[in-house]
A and B are shown apart, each in its own frame.
Chain A
Amino acid sequence: MKHYLLPALATGAALFAAVSVVRTQPVREVTEPVSPPPASSFTNTVAAVGLIEASSEHISVGTALSGVVTEVLVTLNQSVRAGTPLFRLDTRALQASLAMHESQLTAARARRATAQCQVEDLDDRLQRSLKLRSSTVISEEELIRTRFALKVSQARVVEAQAEVAVAEASAAAVRTEITRSTLLAPIDATVLQLKIRAGEFATAGTHTAPLILLGNLNPLHLRVDIDEHEAWRVQPGTRAKGHVRGNASLASPLSFVRFEPFVIPKKSLTGDSIERVDTRVLQAIYRVDRTDLRLYPGQQMDVFIEVAGTSTASR
């Protein structure tokens, strides 16, 4: 028994060593990412990133007049037809001005009527003077004076008519302003953003944050940034596929719409106010063919565009 004590102990130690050496070896197994990243289904492909947008592009509705908003007539996500009122500005000052202009018009019309009466009166007097002149009851001088007075009053009628026209035009101008205080949808579209509320002041001019953002979401378009180095490989009309971020198994075939002919600096879309200009990109517009995916304008998609023949590496 004693003979085997040492070998047994040694065997135990060796086994322990072997087990712990094996157990502590670093393990590296090949794993799959939690959500599989997008993979191209084409043999030769150009990868790009696209931004979903409305097929009408995005319309930041602007107002020609500045003023306080009294009423917002649409809600977010509402579909509107062309000509649907979107919101109204306060028109009280314009209404007051209209009332004033309308009174002025009434006054001008009255003046015109007075002037016309005066013309009739003088005309009548002139007719009678001409008769009397033949019987030399009145002097030549008086006749001439009457004639001139008639001409003056006729001119006054023309002046009064012009004043009426001016007053009418002013009233019409104010009415136009009142009409312009209600903003209308320029096209059939969906309200994508609503950043104006009743009581807020809307300024005329362009805005960094739109008051109301409209866009036609049927169909959706994808604005794809293609690296200028790869742009030569992309042909219009080839097949393309867009993958949804976060779940690459959701993908939609894309149909080529057009190239934006002007190559622009790429934005890296970090959300940082100072975005880095990385490279220049050719923008291609594709139509998203699948409509059952829950896609939203402003969302990014990973895009693979099929290209013919040689890959970049074998240039």
Chain B
Amino acid sequence: MNWVGLQMLRNDRAKFAAMIVAVSLAVFLMQNQAAILATMLSMTAAQIRDVQDADLWVTEPEVECFDQVKAMRDIHLLRVRGIAGISWAAPLLKIDAIGHSEGGRLNTVTVLGIDDASLAGLPHRMRVGRADAIRELNTAIIDPGGHELFFPGEPFQEGRSLRIRDRRIRIMGISDIAAPFTGLPMLHTSRSTAAALNLGEQHMTSFILARSAPGNRPEALCQKINTLGGLRARTTEQFAADAMWFYGSQGVPMLFMITITIGLIVGAAITGQTFLMFIKENARPISMLKVVGTTDRQLGTMILLQGTVVLVLGSCFGSGIAAAVCNVIRTQPFLRSLYLPWEIALGTCLALASVTGIALYASYRHVRGLEPAAVFR
């Protein structure tokens, strides 16, 4: 019986192909847009999550995201260190400056000053070179996007440098960190070098990174620090969520949500409509089946199978296309962080399936309403 249903699909090639293409494109569109949205949001929190050494971030109370920087008092670091349950705490300095390459290119850069003593917060994944080379004075490592901006199309070369605030900063390697939301080159350097670049401004600490001692819940430690007053502590994920919410509530995600919804509606509409047409055009053979005694229940299963085949095939192809496009886009240094959360990959397919389900139900109702006599029409 079900085999008959599959043959029915296979033999109506035009509609079968149209349905698969519709599902594929809808899945591709939704996954692609959702990937871009998810990536954009995760980029706003990327610099927070990239600090893998720490699980606690302590900031001034007003700070909502990584790009809001407020100078912290040095003594706060010691106060955090003195809290029972904190394993260690280290300062992180973030400043913005203009960088000039030897080739004459200039761009605003984000400079991260890593604690000289411990190098806590330094990227552990590198594309080229060693991260701890920044122990040397006036050296830094740059992110792939930054390298592309200053030295477009050129491979990494040792001994290259950027001029920042009239200092020569030697580039010791390329880090493999996530792309930042701002698109600015990210330079990791020692805190002393970063402070020297920031001379004249009384700003030595932007964030305090801390790690909870084994047996202490980071959330509980945050509570403890928050009751001190004048400080705000968050776990890495809380701070990342705050950053994503800060940018996410600014409207751009709404635009993406609209595109995703349109993809869902268009995809489901085309698939549903084509499927309905396919069932209606096959009304005669279906009523023939009824003549030979097939029950409505069996016919319903057949329709469900046909719909599932179309949805599964379409989803597979759509996801494949989306993955291929994603892989191509990821080769761009600025878009290297593009990814599709697996929840969204499955979710888009399920969303499309549930909306198309309405069309399947309509088809089933149509089939149920068919009289065996329709075979003679």
Closest A residue by C-beta to B203: A276
Q: Tell me which residues across on chain B come within 8 A of A35, comparing CB atoms.
A: 117-119
Min CB distance B10 to A, Å, is: 8
- Kindly state whether residue A313 has any CB partner on chain B within 8 Å: yes
Stretch in B158-166, B221-229, B277-285, B295-303 touching the partner: B221-229
Closest A residue by C-beta to B227: A313
| Structural contact, B316 and A37, CB atoms closer than 8 A | no
**A-B residue pair count with CB separations less than 8 angstroms:** 161
- From known contacts A34-B119, A313-B227, infer whether A227 and B79 are also in contact, taking CB-CB under 8 Å: yes
Render B53-74 as a binary contact track against A, CB cut-off 8 A, 1 for contact: 1010000000000000000011
| Structural contact, B75 and A16, CB atoms closer than 8 A | no
**Of listed A14, A21, A44, A230, residue having the most chain B CB within 10 A:** A21
| Structural contact, B88 and A38, CB atoms closer than 8 A | yes
| Structural contact, A43 and B84, CB atoms closer than 8 A | yes
A26 partner, pick from B49, B312, B316, B324, beta carbons under 8 A: B49
- Kindly state whether residue A135 has any CB partner on chain B within 8 Å: no
Q: Tell me which residues across on chain A come within 8 A of B49, comparing CB atoms.
A: 26, 28
| Structural contact, B120 and A30, CB atoms closer than 8 A | no
Q: Tell me which residues across on chain A come within 8 A of B178, comparing CB atoms.
A: 26
| Structural contact, A13 and B117, CB atoms closer than 8 A | no
| Structural contact, B83 and A312, CB atoms closer than 8 A | yes
Q: Tell me which residues across on chain A come within 8 A of B132, comparing CB atoms.
A: 34
- From known contacts A10-B316, A37-B118, infer whether A31 and B204 are also in contact, taking CB-CB under 8 Å: no
Q: Tell me which residues across on chain B come within 8 A of A227, comparing CB atoms.
A: 75, 78-79
Min CB distance B306 to A, Å, is: 14
| Structural contact, A311 and B52, CB atoms closer than 8 A | no
Stretch in A45-53, A100-108, A150-158 touching the partner: A45-53
- From known contacts A26-B337, A43-B84, A312-B82, infer whether A33 and B122 are also in contact, taking CB-CB under 8 Å: yes
Min CB distance B260 to A, Å, is: 17
Min CB distance B350 to A, Å, is: 14
- Kindly state whether residue A93 has any CB partner on chain B within 8 Å: no
| Structural contact, A279 and B73, CB atoms closer than 8 A | yes
| Structural contact, B52 and A13, CB atoms closer than 8 A | no
- Kindly state whether residue A272 has any CB partner on chain B within 8 Å: yes
- Kindly state whether residue B342 has any CB partner on chain A within 8 Å: yes
Please report which residues of chain B, range 90-135, place their CB below 8 angstroms from some CB of chain A when the two chains form the complex. 90, 115-122, 124, 131-132
- Kindly state whether residue B202 has any CB partner on chain A within 8 Å: yes
| Structural contact, A17 and B322, CB atoms closer than 8 A | yes
- From known contacts A10-B312, A30-B55, infer whether A47 and B117 are also in contact, taking CB-CB under 8 Å: no
- From known contacts A230-B79, A246-B117, A312-B228, infer whether A16 and B122 are also in contact, taking CB-CB under 8 Å: no
- From known contacts A24-B340, A37-B90, A266-B75, infer whether A17 and B83 are also in contact, taking CB-CB under 8 Å: no
Min CB distance B2 to A, Å, is: 14
- From known contacts A11-B316, A17-B319, A24-B326, infer whether A37 and B89 are also in contact, taking CB-CB under 8 Å: yes
Min CB distance A294 to B, Å, is: 16
| Structural contact, B326 and A33, CB atoms closer than 8 A | no
CA distance A278 to B46 in the complex (A): 31
Closest A residue by C-beta to B132: A34
- Kindly state whether residue B341 has any CB partner on chain A within 8 Å: yes
CA distance A38 to B89 in the complex (A): 8
- Kindly state whether residue B238 has any CB partner on chain A within 8 Å: no
Render B191-205 as a binary contact track against A, CB cut-off 8 A, 1 for contact: 000010001001010
| Structural contact, B316 and A13, CB atoms closer than 8 A | yes
Render B31-53 as a binary contact track against A, CB cut-off 8 A, 1 for contact: 00000000000100010010011
CA distance A38 to B118 in the complex (A): 8
CA distance A10 to B20 in the complex (A): 11
| Structural contact, A17 and B52, CB atoms closer than 8 A | no
Q: Tell me which residues across on chain B come within 8 A of A43, comparing CB atoms.
A: 84
CA distance A10 to B320 in the complex (A): 8
Q: A38-B88, A45-B82, A313-B83 are in contact. List 10 more A-B contacts (CB 8 A).
A: A13-B316, A13-B319, A13-B320, A16-B323, A17-B319, A24-B327, A28-B52, A47-B79, A278-B74, A312-B228
Give me the 9 closest cross-chain CB pairs, A-B, nearest first: A13-B320, A47-B81, A17-B319, A37-B118, A33-B120, A37-B88, A14-B316, A34-B119, A10-B316
Q: Could you list 16 A-B pairs, sorted by A, with CB under 8 Å?
A: A10-B317, A14-B316, A18-B319, A20-B326, A21-B319, A24-B338, A25-B341, A33-B53, A33-B90, A33-B119, A35-B119, A38-B88, A47-B81, A227-B78, A229-B79, A230-B79
